[in-house]
């Protein structure tokens, strides 16, 4: 078995790699021209729904109250997305006493949680080729 592992490791640099593909996220219902959008894209093995920074994310300044398009390059596969509009610039999704967000937020598949945070499968989407785009509507 060890010889097979050595052969695999020897040829690993010569195996074809999967190229990244352009992927766009359009964020709608942006009502205030201030703060920043925090966009986080999670892979299946990352802790979606927890207060953990994923491997893929962008922070975008909001300069106008209009739809925002943010571009990524992703390897084809399954992902889930969460976004929030940090209106006061404190780098945190502010919540009220009951844990309900006070700042606009959204998830892929336009999932709207009712009593608990969403799971990865609630928000999962597939990236399969170039020129894909998803639309995420922020809550008010």
Q: Which residue has the higher pLDDT, 90 or 3?
A: 90
Q: Which residue has the higher pLDDT, 11 or 138?
A: 138
pLDDT 10s digits, 15-44? 556 678 899 999 999 999 999 999 999 999
Q: Which residue has the higher pLDDT, 4 or 111?
A: 111
Contact criterion met (CB below 8 Å) for 60 and 36: yes
Residues 6+ apart with CB under 8 A from 37: 27, 30, 58, 59, 60, 62, 68, 70, 83, 84, 85, 86
């Amino acid at each position: 078995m060890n010889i097979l592992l050595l052969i695999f490791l020897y040829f690993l640099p010569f195996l074809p790699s999967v190229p990244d593909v352009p992927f766009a996220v359009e964020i709608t219902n942006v009502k205030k021209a201030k703060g920043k959008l925090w966009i986080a894209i999670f892979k299946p093995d990352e802790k979606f729904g927890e207060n953990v920074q994923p491997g893929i994310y962008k922070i975008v300044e909001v300069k106008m109250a209009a739809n925002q398009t943010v571009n990524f390059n992703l390897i084809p596969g399954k992902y889930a997305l969460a976004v929030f509009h940090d209106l006061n610039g404190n780098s945190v999704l502010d919540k009220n006493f009951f844990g309900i967000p006070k700042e606009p937020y959204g998830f892929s598949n336009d999932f709207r949680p009712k009593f608990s945070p969403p799971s990865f499968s609630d928000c999962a989407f597939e990236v399969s080729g170039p020129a894909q785009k998803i639309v995420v509507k922020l809550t008010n």
